[in-house]
């Protein structure tokens, strides 16, 4: 796809830093403060809670947030005994009951801390999750023929009503729930089991919403944030979204939450067309530590793209960013994911890049008339940067967005497997990229695709040089700025040369004509990049943990994920040595 002005400036070099900066300059005639500004630290399932300044609700209060979403995958309905339903489920003196009581005590303390900071306390809640013992005792009345807990069974619905009543009786200070369907993470709940309740599409959502709206909103006056994230079209298809929400009576405490992207948090996807439609208030979900794009291990500025639209969507019909829907009455809030999402690493030692994305999106939610550039500059001043360094920091941030687009994704062809690179994993031509490489070969785009990866590496080389010139007064910030920018450079050299060896080799496999000189050169560059990457980690304490040249693996028995031992960039490159 053609470069926008922003992309052309960045791809052409940072020497144009004195030119007018693209994006985010205009001031809206009208502005408002959105009703909800929520934040969540999304801890990795199956791992200890993420260490972050954003766990402290006082940090959020200082940024103007009015709610904290706790997500450590031990929600309140795993901290009740179900004694009012069946005392056999968690008998006194059992290890399981002791765990439930410990979990309840931690939730009590967390709610107290959140309220002391002046925020609403919300808990991220997967449905369906029920005690294993309950399922064993009542299997005949709640399981379907495939052994799944079935929301269509009358007792299952009754149990959920009892469960919600006990949750709010046990935790009267709990202000509300954030409910997810589609995925059920059980790694942190050893005494519970569960599954996705959505088995009949829209009808299943309506069945669940009827229970939740009545028990949470109407009967108890609590807040219900119902996530549209699912795998059945609710999140991405406007017709499907309306087929559900138009059949639900509005309630002042019922809000739907929607990711800003039409799909997961990927570039090259359209702005979500289910936003700003229907008759219910909406809160927009924004991930600040992008799980498919480095997780804060290197610069990756998404504030401009989220607000004004990403460069690859320029010219598309309809809204491209939050600025385009700021006057829509359905837009009622922003839900920042300050940290987390996904699985495993990279694990970061400094929150510089999460902070930037968080600050820009959050401050815009407090005043939707502010220009993105104005908010960005305010944050740069808070970092103590001089006027010259603020301009450098601006260009570095915008360049990181251009470099990620051309390194992870593509402007040359439509990348199908956007998950080839996710969390700490790097896939290869042996599985993740096979179909995309075949498309590139068939379309005659091998040279163009590899030239784009070279451009990405060149952008990151400029970022690396620029980072060395920026001098924040805080030494730890200054060091992480330098180290994380070098991390981005070396990662994208790995990508450039890894793709070079794999795609040239893949073409040879299909045609019988191997460009052996080019393959050898790319393998040598790939090895050099990995050597420098490891040296950076060994010599820089602030360096994030490194990527693993293996594909994202299959699900482990405990519900977590690790590397695929048999597939990935390493095996794919090694094939052509």
In the chain the first and final C-alpha atoms are separated, in Å, by 33
- Directed axis angle between helix 372-382 and helix 352-366, to 10°? 130
pLDDT in tens, 469-487: 999 999 999 999 999 999 9
Inter-residue contact 440 to 446 (CB < 8 Å) = yes
- Say if residue 68 is in the same domain as residue 180: yes
Choosing from 382, 404, 431, the residue where a domain stops is 382
- Whether residue 117 contacts residue 178, with contact meaning beta carbons closer than 8 Å, is answered with no
| C-alpha closest to that of 414 among 277, 257, 266 | 266
Average pLDDT in the chain: 95
Specify whether 117 is located in the same domain as 50: yes
Concatenated DSSP letters for 235-247?
Answer: TT-HHHHHHHHTT
* 261 within 8 A of 271, measured Cβ to Cβ: yes
What pLDDT does residue 97 have? Answer: 98
Q: State residue 435's pLDDT score.
A: 98
Q: Return the sign of the alpha-carbon dihedral for residues 337, 187, 121, 135.
A: positive
Per-residue DSSP letter, 399: H
Of 18-22, 151-155, 186-190, 432-436, the poorest mean pLDDT is in 18-22
| Higher-scoring residue by pLDDT: 240, 231 | 240
What pLDDT sits at residue 8?
44
What percent of the chain has a predicted confidence (pLDDT) above 90? 94
At 419 the three-state DSSP class reads helix
402/378 same-domain check: no
> Based on the domain organization, do 184 and 83 belong to the same domain?
yes
Here the tokens at position 461 are 């080389």
Residue 26 pLDDT greater than 90, yes or no: no
Is there a single domain that holds both residue 372 and residue 418? no
Return the pLDDT at 2.
37
235: pLDDT strictly greater than 80: yes
Q: Is the pLDDT of residue 18 over 50?
A: no
CATH code of the domain in which 146 resides: 3.20.20.80
Structural domain of 247: 31-382
In a domain, 26, yes or no: no
Cis peptide before 15 (omega within 30 of 0): no
Residues 206-228 have a mean pLDDT of: 98
Cα distances from 314 to residues 290, 414, 483, in angstroms, run 21, 15, 32
pLDDT beyond 70 at 388: yes
**Residue 81 shares a structural domain with residue 125:** yes
Are residues 294 and 239 part of one domain?
yes
Flag whether pLDDT at 10 surpasses 90: no
- 198 shares a domain with 61: yes
Cα–Cα distance measured from residue 376 to residue 334, given in angstroms and rounded to the nearest whole number: 18
Task: Give me 133's structure tokens.
Answer: 């013992």
At residue 491, the pLDDT reads 98
Label residue 30 by pLDDT band (50, 70, 90): confident
For the cut 70, the answer to whether the pLDDT of residue 350 exceeds it is: yes
Handedness of CA 156, 160, 162, 163 (dihedral sign): positive
Burial grade of 481 (CB within 10 A; 0-12, 13-18, 19 or more): buried
pLDDT at 384 over 60: yes
CA atoms within 13 A on the CB side of 182: 14
> Tell me, what's the pLDDT at 228?
98
Half-sphere exposure of 128 (CA within 13 A, CB side): 30
Q: Which of 20-29, 400-409, 442-451, 491-500 has the lowest mean pLDDT?
A: 20-29
Would residue 137 count as lying in a domain? Answer: yes
Calpha distance 289→353 (Å, rounded): 8
442 domain residue, yes or no: yes
Residue 303 covered by a domain: yes
| Spatial contact of 448 and 455, defined as CB atoms under 8 Å apart | no
Contact of 162 with 78, CB cutoff 8 Å: no
Q: Which of the four pLDDT bands, split at 50, 70 and 90, describes residue 14?
A: very low
pLDDT band at 558 (very low <50, low <70, confident <90, very high): confident
Contact (CB, 8 A) for 197 and 208: yes
| pTM assigned to the model | 0.95
Mean pLDDT in residue range 69-94: 97
How many residues appear in the chain?
577
Question: Rounded distance, CA 452 to CA 328, Å?
Answer: 38
In a domain, residue 190? The reply is yes
- Is 80 exceeded by the pLDDT of residue 316? yes
Instruction: Tell me the mean pLDDT in the region 498-520.
Output: 98
**Mean local confidence (pLDDT), 322-334:** 98
Q: C-alpha distances in angstroms, 349 versus 426, 459, 483?
A: 21, 24, 11
410 assigned to some structural domain: yes
| Contact between residue 163 and residue 80 where contact means Cβ atoms under 8 Å apart | yes
Q: Give the pLDDT mean for 517-546.
A: 98
Task: Give the C-alpha separation, 87 to 134, whole Å.
Answer: 10
Confidence (pLDDT) at 9: 45
Statement to judge: residues 48 and 163 lie in one domain: yes
Point out which residues pair with 303 in neighbouring strands: none
**276 domain residue, yes or no:** yes
- Cβ-proximal residues to 122 (8 Å cutoff; 6+ apart), any chain: 38, 67, 68, 69, 70, 174, 175, 176, 177, 178, 223, 225
Burial label for 178, CB within 10 Å (0-12, 13-18, 19+), is: buried
Q: Residue 538: is it exposed, middle or buried by C-beta count within 10 angstroms (0-12/13-18/19+)? A: exposed
User: Does the pLDDT value for residue 502 go beyond 80?
Assistant: yes
* Region 209-233 average pLDDT: 97
- Residue 24 pLDDT > 70: no
Find the range with the poorest average confidence among 231-235, 258-262, 555-559, 572-576. 555-559
* Whether residue 453 is found in the same domain as residue 526: yes
Distance CA 486, CA 299 (A): 10
Domain boundary among 382, 404, 428: 382
How many Cβ atoms are within 10 Å of 359's Cβ, its own excluded?
Answer: 22
Torsion of CA 147, 152, 155, 161, to 10 degrees: 120
Instruction: Please give the structure tokens belonging to residue 416.
Output: 């199908």
Does the pLDDT of residue 22 top 70, yes or no?
no
Let me know if residue 560 belongs to a domain.
yes
Q: Are residues 461 and 542 in the same domain?
A: yes
Total domains present in the chain: 2
Same domain? 127 vs 45: yes
Domain boundary among 347, 366, 382: 382
For the segment 343-352, the average pLDDT, to the nearest whole number, is 97
The predicted pLDDT at position 338 comes to: 98
Instruction: Write the DSSP assignment of 456-502 as a string of letters.
Output: HHHHHHHHHHHHTT---SSHHHHHHHHHHHHHHHHHHHHHHHHHHHH
């Amino acid at each position: 796809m053609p470069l926008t002005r922003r992309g052309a400036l960045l791809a052409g070099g940072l020497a144009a830093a004195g030119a007018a900066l693209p994006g985010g300059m205009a001031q809206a005639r009208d502005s408002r403060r959105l009703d909800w500004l929520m934040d969540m630290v999304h801890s990795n399932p199956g791992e200890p809670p993420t260490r972050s300044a954003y766990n402290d609700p006082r940090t959020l209060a200082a940024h103007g947030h009015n709610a904290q979403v706790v997500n450590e995958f031990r929600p309140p309905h795993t901290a009740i005994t179900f004694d009012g339903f069946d005392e056999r489920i968690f008998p006194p003196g059992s290890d399981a009951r002791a765990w439930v009581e410990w979990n309840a005590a931690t939730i009590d303390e967390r709610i107290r801390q959140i309220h002391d900071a002046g925020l609403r306390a919300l808990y991220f809640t997967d449905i369906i999750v029920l005690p294993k013992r309950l399922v064993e005792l009542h299997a005949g009345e709640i399981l379907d023929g495939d052994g799944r807990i079935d929301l269509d069974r009358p007792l299952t619905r009754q149990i959920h009503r009892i469960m919600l009543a006990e949750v709010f009786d046990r935790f009267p200070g709990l202000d509300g729930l954030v409910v997810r369907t589609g995925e059920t993470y059980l790694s942190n709940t050893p005494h519970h089991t569960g599954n996705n309740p959505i088995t009949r599409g829209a009808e299943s959502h309506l069945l669940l919403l009827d229970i939740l709206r009545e028990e949470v909103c109407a009967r108890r006056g609590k807040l219900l944030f119902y996530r549209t994230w699912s795998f059945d079209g609710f999140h991405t298809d406007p017709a499907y979204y309306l087929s559900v929400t138009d059949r639900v009576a509005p309630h002042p405490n019922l809000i739907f939450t929607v990711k800003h992207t039409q799909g997961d948090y990927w570039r090259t996807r359209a702005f979500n067309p289910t936003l700003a439609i229907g008759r219910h208030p909406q809160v927009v979900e924004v991930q600040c530590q992008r799980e498919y794009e480095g997780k804060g291990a290197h610069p990756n500025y998404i504030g401009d793209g989220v607000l004004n639209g990403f460069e690859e969507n320029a010219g598309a019909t309809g809204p491209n960013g939050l600025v385009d829907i700021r006057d829509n009455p359905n837009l009622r809030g922003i839900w920042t994911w300050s940290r987390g999402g996904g699985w495993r690493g990279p694990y970061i030692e400094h929150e510089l890049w999460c902070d930037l994305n968080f600050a820009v999106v959050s401050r815009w939610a407090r005043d939707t008339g502010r220009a993105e550039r104005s908010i960005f500059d305010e944050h740069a001043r808070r970092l103590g940067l001089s006027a010259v360094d603020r301009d450098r920091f601006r260009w570095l941030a915008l360049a990181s967005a251009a470099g990620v687009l051309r390194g992870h994704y593509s402007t040359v062809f439509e990348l199908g497997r956007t998950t080839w690179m996710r969390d700490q994993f790097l896939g290869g031509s042996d599985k993740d990229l096979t179909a995309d490489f075949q498309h590139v070969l068939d379309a005659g785009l091998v040279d163009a695709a590899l030239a784009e990866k070279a451009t990405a590496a060149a952008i990151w080389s400029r970022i690396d040089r620029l980072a060395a010139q920026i001098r924040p007064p805080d030494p730890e910030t200054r060091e992480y700025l330098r180290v994380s920018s070098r991390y981005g450079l070396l990662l994208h050299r790995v990508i450039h040369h890894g793709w070079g060896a794999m795609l040239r080799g893949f073409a040879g496999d299909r045609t019988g004509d191997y460009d052996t000189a080019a393959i050898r050169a790319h393998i040598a560059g790939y090895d050099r990049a990995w050597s420098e990457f490891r040296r950076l980690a060994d010599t820089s304490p602030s360096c994030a943990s490194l990527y693993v040249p293996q594909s994202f693996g299959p699900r482990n028995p405990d519900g977590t994920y690790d590397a695929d031992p048999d597939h990935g960039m390493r095996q794919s490159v090694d094939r052509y040595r």
